[in-house]
């Protein structure tokens, strides 16, 4: 049975592995890029794991996601499930662990990413219509989604 656990700085190597797989497999799902993060050193990876990041491990991580606090707004980032493990509730378990009970949260989803959007809508997020470039100079757009409860 796959287990949910919080990753900390000492998990940096296994987090790096799944994060680089995510960026390679879903290059348009994230603001960051594989090339940028392939250049990260151990300290960069450790720093990323000082905030909440949860993984479903089987026994190595097969799904991952994080949360950061931007001026009091919880922002979900880096959600990715290995394609062979999708549709098993891993993202739902990770979101449950990341977002404090009763708290609101936001995330950005690529307007072309119908699968992720459907998953977030099932979870309770709704689109806001607020669009931004995926990353600087990109013609792709992400939409801000919010979870209100």
Number of residues written out for the chain: 149
Sheet of strand 53-57: strand arrangement: 3-6, 53-57, 61-70, 73-81, 105-110, 141-147, 126-133
- Compute the least distance from the CB of residue 8 to ligand COA, in Å: 22
Question: What is the Cα–Cα distance from 53 to 78, expressed in whole angstroms?
Answer: 9
Count other Cβ atoms within 10 Å, centred on residue 28.
12
Pick the closer one to ligand COA by CB: 54 or 80.
80
Q: Which of 119, 125, 134, 147 binds ligand COA (CB under 6 A)?
A: 119
Q: Would you give the binding string for ligand COA spanning residues 16-35, x where CB under 6 A is met?
A: ----------x--x------
Q: Would you give the binding string for ligand COA spanning residues 87-106, x where CB under 6 A is met?
A: xxxxxx--------------
Interaction site with ligand COA (CB under 6 A): 26, 29, 63, 79-81, 86-92, 107, 109, 113, 115-116, 118-119, 122
């Amino acid at each position: 049975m796959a287990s949910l656990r919080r990753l900390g700085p000492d998990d940096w190597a296994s987090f790096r592995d799944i994060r680089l797989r995510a960026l390679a497999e879903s290059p348009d799902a994230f603001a960051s890029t594989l090339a940028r993060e392939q250049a990260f050193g151990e300290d960069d990876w450790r720093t990323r794991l000082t905030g909440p990041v949860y993984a479903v491990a089987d026994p190595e991580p097969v799904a991952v996601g994080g949360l950061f606090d931007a001026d009091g707004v919880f922002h979900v980032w880096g959600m990715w499930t290995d394609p062979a493990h999708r549709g098993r509730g891993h993202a739902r378990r990770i979101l449950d662990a990341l977002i404090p009970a009763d708290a609101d949260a936001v995330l950005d989803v690529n307007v072309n990413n119908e699968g992720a959007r459907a998953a977030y809508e099932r979870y309770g997020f709704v689109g806001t219509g607020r669009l931004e470039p995926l990353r600087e100079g990109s013609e792709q757009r992400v939409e801000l989604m919010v979870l209100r409860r």
